[in-house]
Amino acid sequence: MSEQTRQRISGLSAILLVSLAGITDIIQFFADLTGFGAIVAMMLGATVEIGLLVWFRLLGIQYFNKNVLLKFGTILATSVITFIPFLDMLPELTLGTIVLIMITRYEDSAKNAKGTGSHLAGKTLGAMAPEAKIALRAANLRAAGAGARDQIRQARVEKQQKDLEARQARRARSEQQPIPS
């Protein structure tokens, strides 16, 4: 995968992260059913949560960026629930992990869209501005490889000819219209 379309959390990593959190939540659930298991559940939850945060960091996830409130809100909610007996029977680690993966995937897709010109991909050529059409065609021609420069030059010449014809047509229409007296 190229650097521009890189996903920091691969599909396999996401499955492993969610599986670890899910297994931990299941163990916490059954440990909380017993009286002394609540302490074990809290310790297990805290340990796994720290491990998940380290794992996310090793995957290149930054906690201090534009989504800091979402990330820390998720982490804080997960941490608080982990330390409340019987409330930690909820699948808080699994849900928190899924939310952090979704936030990261959103950041990656936004970054990839900026770097590759994919913001133009959703539009049809008819709905795009002429400059954007030319830029998109030029990018496609550059990607095509050999002989692309000649084709790009040809596209520029064709655009200049169309612009000239349009200006001449506008001028001719304006000259034909009678001036109101």
pLDDT at residue 12, rounded to an integer = 92
Instruction: Express each pLDDT in 50-87 by its tens digit.
Output: 999 899 889 888 878 877 888 888 888 888 888 887 78
Same domain, 17 and 71: yes
pLDDT given for residue 17 in this prediction: 93
Boundary of a domain, candidates 86, 101, 116: 116
32 shares its domain with 84: yes
Kindly state whether residues 99 and 156 are assigned to the same domain.
no
Type and span of the H or E element at 47 = helix 37-58
What is the C-alpha to C-alpha distance for residues 57 and 130, in angstroms, rounded to an integer?
43
Residues 8-25: tens digit of each pLDDT: 888 899 999 999 999 999
pLDDT at 121: 46
Residue 47 included in any domain:
yes
Domain membership of residue 181 (yes or no) is no
Question: Do 131 and 145 have their domain in common?
Answer: yes
Q: Among 116, 145, 162, identify where a domain stops.
A: 116
Neighbours of 97 (CB within 10 A): 27
Question: Does some domain include residue 5?
Answer: no
pLDDT for res 47: 92
Out of 72-76, 115-119, 143-147, the most confident range is 72-76
Number of domains in the chain: 2
Q: Is residue 6 part of a domain?
A: no
Other beta carbons less than 10 A from residue 25's beta carbon: 23
User: Is the domain of 38 the same as that of 76?
Assistant: yes
Residues 162 and 126 in one domain: yes
Domain that holds residue 169: 119-176
22 with 105, same domain: the answer is yes
pLDDT score, position 174: 80
Query: Residue 147: its pLDDT value, please?
Result: 62
Helix axes 148-176, 130-144, angle to 10 degrees: 160
Same domain, 20 and 88: yes
In this structure, is residue 63 part of a structural domain? yes
The pTM score is 0.58
Same-domain status, 123 and 112:
no
